[in-house]
Amino acid sequence: MSNEYTNFVIYPDDEYQEAITKYLNYEKEDIVGIDARELKANIMYLFADGYQYEITMQGLPKQYPKAVLQIAKKWNLSLSVSSNQLNAADLSIGFDNLTVVVKSKEDYERVCKMPKKYTLMVLPEVLEEIYDDVTQRRNIKEIILLSVNLNSVTLEMIKKYNPSSIGLMNTSLHVGCKDLYLPGDFIKIQEAANDMIYKSNANKEGIRDIDKFLGIYKLLGETLEYDPMAVRRILNMNDHNLLGLLRGSTACEGFATILTEILTLAKIDSTVIIGNYESQKGSEGHAWNKVAIDGKLYNCDLSGDSISIREGAKPENCLLTDKEFEKEGYIFGDNKLLDNNYELAQENYDQDEIDKFFEKDHNSIADLIKKEVLSPKDMVEKIAIVKRRYSTPIYLRLYREDKEHYGIQFRRRLTNGMTRPISDEYPSFEVSKRGEFLEEYQKRFGVAKAKKGTILSKGLVLSFVKDKKKKIKEDFVIDVDLEEDEER
């Protein structure tokens, strides 16, 4: 019996649905002296508060999870069930919004003959085994592919099985309403996440976990903006999940979820912490991350640090201890997944090392830009590499280095409208080859618009500077709206 389990994810009525998920865990010792009827009475009232609940029952007799099924029927709740003890008869109690999670062929065989129609959420490798039978069943309304990480469901699988959506396992290893994505959105998120891995160099062999983490943290901080209005749009699940990676803005939980999933692709363990943050304005719900570096767990708050990172400053809430976070006003919620596998850090990670990383404006992008004379074709290729590896728009300032050379300074835009040099070194090409350079540039990047010595392309602005000494060393305010011109 100790190996028997049932997990429920209960979705409340959309009218009252809140963004935050609450967790209930029951093991044998938790129900001593409590029968199934009493447990039902104890938890029934909880579902009126509008939150999504994850309920896990480990090693309990079948009558206890059956009591939760009865509650779901009474409140007409949408319910997802993953269980190795409930069968088709147990689940056929008459409510319509049922999703059955199947992680093995045995799971499927236990529930497949259920008379009521249900949604099947299934791992791709299991669906491969049972697909012929699934296509013959009239009681399966739709298929959701269950993905354990962003790369475990492919476009080929989506084309083959035509699922209604993709369910991505969250850090509690289950799928909630915030973890369901349309197939097209899932593939776009997958591509964006893998692009982040590439741009941050986290896919390179031999790189330390701390360097992977800082590269990803910095790149996401530059890419994502905190959306203060998301707190008011609490009914919109897309403000709290991975879709923020496509929009470029999200809420605190979106930041934490995106960071966790991308770190997972980089083989770094992380989990989302749902808690509160206390400030002078009072206490409010908040989400951040715990990250495992060198066998120890640290806290980081990317949603807060992103503001500093996008303005070229150093992060202040990066890889700190629980004690330090509590001192700053963070109040911890449930976190039982990583604490058992790693040691809680007793000292902050070396902040000097973090500061040096951000001072250097790392990602290895700056290292690509050197003082060297290039051919027009190689110069355009250099621009393409930097553009591909950087997430923010690139501003190129073409100036007369000397009588024989044009130099190009690479800059990026900050949230305050200013730009900042990517590197202190500038490559150059021969003056006589300016026409050839512009021809190669236009061939590679196209021209969306040109005016006043400025050429706009997608993600690029090339401007011509006459006075190097006066302008090239200064930060400047951009005078073109890149996004607006791109849309045109």
pLDDT in tens, 360-373: 654 456 667 889 99
Query: How many CB atoms are closer than 10 A to CB 335?
Result: 17
Higher pLDDT, 147 or 419: 147
The confidence band for 486, taking pLDDT boundaries of 50, 70 and 90, is: very low
The confidence band for 14, taking pLDDT boundaries of 50, 70 and 90, is: low
Q: Using alpha carbons, select from 103, 96, 102 the residue that is nearest to residue 79.
A: 96
Higher pLDDT, 124 or 16: 124
Q: How far apart are CA 15 and CA 476, in angstroms?
A: 48
Ranking 162-171, 219-228, 386-395 by mean pLDDT, the lowest is 386-395
Q: Rounded mean pLDDT of the chain?
A: 83
Q: Using alpha carbons, select from 178, 143, 149, 141 the residue that is nearest to residue 54.
A: 178
Higher pLDDT, 474 or 37: 37
pLDDT of residue 418: 66
CATH 3.10.620 maps onto the chain at 209-359
Ranking 7-21, 150-164, 404-418 by mean pLDDT, the lowest is 7-21
Tell me the pairing of strands 405-413 and 419-421. Answer: antiparallel
DSSP state at residue 432: G
Ranking 273-277, 300-304, 342-346, 392-396 by mean pLDDT, the lowest is 392-396
Q: Using alpha carbons, select from 202, 210, 472, 165 the residue that is nearest to residue 357.
A: 210
pLDDT of residue 487: 32
> 246-252 — which CB contacts under 8 Å span 24+ positions?
246/185, 246/188, 246/189, 246/192, 248/223, 248/224, 249/224, 249/225, 250/224, 250/226, 251/19, 251/226, 251/227, 251/287, 251/303, 252/226, 252/286, 252/287, 252/288, 252/301, 252/303
Residue 23 reports pLDDT greater than 60: yes
Identify the top-confidence range among 4-8, 9-13, 333-337.
4-8
pLDDT in tens, 324-363: 999 999 988 765 456 567 899 999 999 999 998 887 654 4
Lookup: tokens for 252:
């605190």
Whether the Cβ atoms of residue 374 and residue 410 lie closer than 8 Å to each other: no
Residue 29 reports pLDDT greater than 70: yes
Residue 452 reports pLDDT greater than 90: no
Residue 484 reports pLDDT greater than 70: no
Q: How far apart are CA 190 and CA 245, in angstroms?
A: 10
Residue 480 reports pLDDT greater than 70: no
Architecture of domain 209-359: Roll (3.10)
pLDDT of residue 308: 85
pLDDT of residue 2: 62
The confidence band for 472, taking pLDDT boundaries of 50, 70 and 90, is: very low
* Mean local confidence (pLDDT), 190-209: 89
* Mean local confidence (pLDDT), 462-487: 49
* Mean local confidence (pLDDT), 253-258: 91
375: CB partners within 8 A, 6+ apart: 429, 433
Higher pLDDT, 47 or 463: 463
Higher pLDDT, 148 or 226: 148
pLDDT of residue 203: 87
Q: How far apart are CA 446 and CA 464, in angstroms?
A: 17
* Mean local confidence (pLDDT), 365-390: 85
* Mean local confidence (pLDDT), 220-242: 70
* Mean local confidence (pLDDT), 182-199: 92
Residue 321 reports pLDDT greater than 50: yes
Q: Using alpha carbons, select from 144, 162, 126 the residue that is nearest to residue 78.
A: 144
* Mean local confidence (pLDDT), 186-199: 91
The confidence band for 205, taking pLDDT boundaries of 50, 70 and 90, is: confident
pLDDT in tens, 42-76: 777 776 666 778 888 999 989 999 988 888 888 77
The H or E element that residue 100 is part of is strand 98-102
Query: How many CB atoms are closer than 10 A to CB 446?
Result: 12
Ranking 96-105, 230-239, 325-334 by mean pLDDT, the lowest is 230-239
